[in-house]
Amino acid sequence: MKFPETGRPRAEVMAQLKGFAAGDADWKRGRVPLYVFKATEEAAEVGKEAFNAYFTENALGAKRAFGSLKRMEDEVARMALDLFHAPEGAVGNMTTGGSESILMAVKAARDFARAQRGDSAHRGNLVLPSSAHPAFNKAALLMDLEVRRVPVTRDFLADPKAMAAAADKDTIMIVGSAPCFPYGAIDPIEALGEVAGSKNLWLHVDACVGGYVAPFVRDEGWPVPTFDFAVKTVSSLSADLHKFGFAPKPASTVFYRDEARKAGQTFSIDEWPNGRFVTETLTGTRAGGAVAAAWALMQTLGRNGYRQIARELMTMRDAYIAGIEAIPGFRVFGKPHLTLLGFGAADLDMARVAEGMANRGWVPGMLKDPPGLHLMMSLLHKDARPDYLRDLAASAAEVRTSAGKAKLEATYS
């Protein structure tokens, strides 16, 4: 494609742009069980309005030019620290996503470990449950760390004993997820906290996907184990606003128990002509709109608003689980705590079932270990349940009664 010599009328371009979406998966009707989130229409409108109000402002300039963004980012962090039972002195900030929050926490842990050892070249390792997000591998690849993935238990939870055994003098971080993406279960953070306490290890809680909904799910009476700074040996925690905080992308948060632990996160570079360059993030320029929208959503929804959404989400999830398990042979893996889950039928080729769903207009979330399908559901998925369950039953019956080989493989992106 050539770079256009002359521009075209805006209306024509916009019509073409909007037309492109016709070929996309039908996410608005709940056909995509990952990537997209929605609570209420009202929450989506608040997010858009606040984002657009700060469309041009750059959060990189929050300190020097946009005091309003500085205020809102600080307030988002303080509201979240309150939600996550952080002690006095705990600190944190916004980033552009879960992967960046994790990257920052790993850097902070690495530099903390190096400072404690007095060894600026120390090469550490990360001890993760096998269910942890690939963002930890990304961090390890960028910072030349070793990754030790420890198999989860038969309940699909992090195994504190096995993780303790995998940790050694070079371990700079152990991780628990709240919840993990593949199975939707919150790892036993209290037991991991005991490991961290007894071995003096940095425990990071990856609450990227669930952090901003789990407290409200608990408020509404579904069981949610303690997963945050209430566990005294949690050093850091990541939680994404652009997932179940229902804020527009790109927005996440990362927090530390105290300033000393956060120190390694800060980049402070004074080696170029424009003077000292200081950021708390890997990114430079950041969307001011994302900060404003996250703030506006917390303020308009409040705990009662989030609780109402949590109740609706969990009621929907329970109905999905009942419907899935009513199909012969199908079982949900482990005990998911929120609206993410994996499921399968041991006697069926689940890749073929996924193919059947794809042929019926769904983007199937897939699991490799164990073979299964995956759902991460927001209120986009509420009305799709009867169609989903009908097509799942039909796809399963098709696989049961015909031979074939799946071409589809489990991929995330």
> Using CB under 6 A as the criterion, which residues of the chain lie in contact with ligand PLP when the complex forms?
97-99, 133, 135, 177, 180-181, 206, 208-209, 240, 252
Smallest separation, CB 134 to ligand PLP (Å)? 8
Which residues does 240 contact at the CB level (< 8 Å), separation at least 6? 97, 98, 101, 208, 209, 211, 212, 251, 252, 253
Name which of 135 and 203 has its Cβ closer to ligand PLP: 135
Specify the residue, 98 or 342, whose C-beta has the smaller distance to ligand PLP.
98
Q: Which is nearer to ligand PLP, 111 or 206 (CB)?
A: 206
Burial of 187 from C-beta contacts in 10 A (0-12 / 13-18 / 19+): buried
Integer Cα distance of 249 and 368 in angstroms: 28
Q: How far is CA 260 from CA 93, 119, 329, in A?
A: 15, 17, 52
Q: In terms of CB distance, is 330 or 333 closer to ligand PLP?
A: 333
- CB 138 → ligand PLP: shortest distance, Å? 9
The C-alpha angle with vertex 319 and arms to 382 and 302, in degrees rounded to 5, equals 55
Residue 241 φ/ψ, nearest 5 degrees = -75, -30
**Nearest-CB residue for ligand PLP:** 98
Residue closest to 174 by CA, chosen among 156, 153, 188, 154: 188
Shorter beta-carbon distance to ligand PLP: residue 257 or 374: 374
- CB 339 → ligand PLP: shortest distance, Å? 12
How far from 62 is each of 39, 52, 93, 164, 253, CA to CA, in Å?
A: 29, 17, 12, 41, 16
Contact 185, 157 (CB under 8 A): yes
Which segments of 152-231 does DSSP mark as H helices, in order?
160-166, 189-199, 214-219
Rounded to the nearest whole angstrom, what is the least distance from the CB of residue 205 to ligand PLP in the complex?
10
Residues in the chain, how many?
Answer: 413
User: Residue 157 or 396: which CB sits closer to ligand PLP?
Assistant: 157
For the CB of residue 411, give the shortest distance to ligand PLP in the complex, in Å.
Answer: 14
3-state secondary structure of 173: strand
Q: Please, which residues bridge with residue 254 across strands? A: 93, 238
| CB-nearer residue toward ligand PLP: 160 or 211 | 211
Query: Which one, 32 or 399, has the nearer CB to ligand PLP?
Result: 32
DSSP per residue over 62-105, as a string? TTTT-HHHHHHHHHHHHHHHHHTTPPTT-EEEEESSHHHHHHHH
Instruction: Output 240 or 355, the one with its CB closest to ligand PLP.
Output: 240
CB of 330 to ligand PLP, least distance (A): 23
3-state secondary structure of 204: strand
- Minimum gap (Å) between residue 253 Cβ and ligand PLP: 11
Task: List the helix and strand counts (H, then E) for the chain.
Answer: 12, 13
Closer to ligand PLP by Cβ: residue 177 or 378: 177
The minimum distance between CB 407 and ligand PLP, in angstroms, equals 25
- Least Å distance, CB 177 to ligand PLP, is 5
The least CB distance from residue 372 to ligand PLP, in Å, is: 17
Sole residue written with tokens 């600190």: 91
Rounded CA-CA distance 111/264 in Å is: 5
